[in-house]
């Protein structure tokens, strides 16, 4: 299990994932946690490590040590709107201005398939939306605003980003 990066693995990262029907093996979750921490990430979705499962791991902030494990997450409610820059472990060195809701309610199953819900605001809401997008095959490139793409600090057009990453 390795972190999938664009452009080599673009096909896998741009398709919707299958729902989780049974418990995920603990070693899979442990390995994903290691990948998340080793890459200084705040979120990681199953397709980013080659798994066709609706599974995400998220931290509430970069400083948080608590990692939420969510199976089959669904955004039930959303409100507010804010534009901010996002990065992605699968697209190193790219920052994209992305509009996101500022408050969301998400229902999901935990590692033991118990149904749960959580209300997230601000940064955590943004992280959850980013990771849930991965489960639907949506990348920050797809959500980015015109003139909001920056690669290694240099502004690129949407067309340039598409050519560079989506070949």
44 touches 56 (CB < 8 A) = yes
**Which of the following is catalytic: 38, 115, 131, 160?**
131
111 assigned to active site = no
User: Tokens 């089959």 — which residue?
Assistant: 72
Return all residues near 81 (Cβ < 8 A) that are at least 6 apart: 99, 100, 101, 102
Buried b (16+ CB within 10 A) or exposed e, 108-131: bbeeeeeeeebebeebbbbbbbbb
- Burial (CB count <10 Å: 0-12, 13-18, 19+), residue 25: exposed
CA dihedral 53, 86, 162, 15 (to 10 degrees): 10
User: Tokens 């955004």 — which residue?
Assistant: 75
Residues with catalytic annotation? 131
């Amino acid at each position: 299990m390795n972190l999938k990066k664009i452009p080599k693995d673009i096909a896998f990262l741009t398709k919707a994932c299958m729902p989780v029907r049974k418990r995920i093996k603990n070693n899979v979750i442990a390995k994903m946690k290691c990948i998340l921490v080793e890459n200084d990430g705040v979120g990681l979705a199953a397709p980013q490590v080659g798994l066709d499962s609706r599974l995400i791991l998220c931290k509430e902030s970069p400083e948080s040590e608590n990692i939420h494990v969510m199976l089959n997450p669904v955004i039930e409610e959303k409100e507010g709107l804010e534009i901010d820059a996002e990065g992605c472990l699968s697209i190193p060195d790219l920052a994209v201005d992305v509009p996101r809701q500022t408050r969301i309610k998400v229902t999901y199953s935990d590692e033991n398939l118990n149904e749960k819900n959580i209300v997230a605001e601000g940064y955590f809401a943004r992280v959850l939306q980013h990771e849930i997008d991965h489960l639907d095959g949506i990348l920050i490139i797809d959500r980015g605003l015109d003139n909001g793409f920056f690669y290694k600090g240099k502004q690129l057009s949407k067309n340039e980003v598409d050519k560079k990453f989506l070949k």
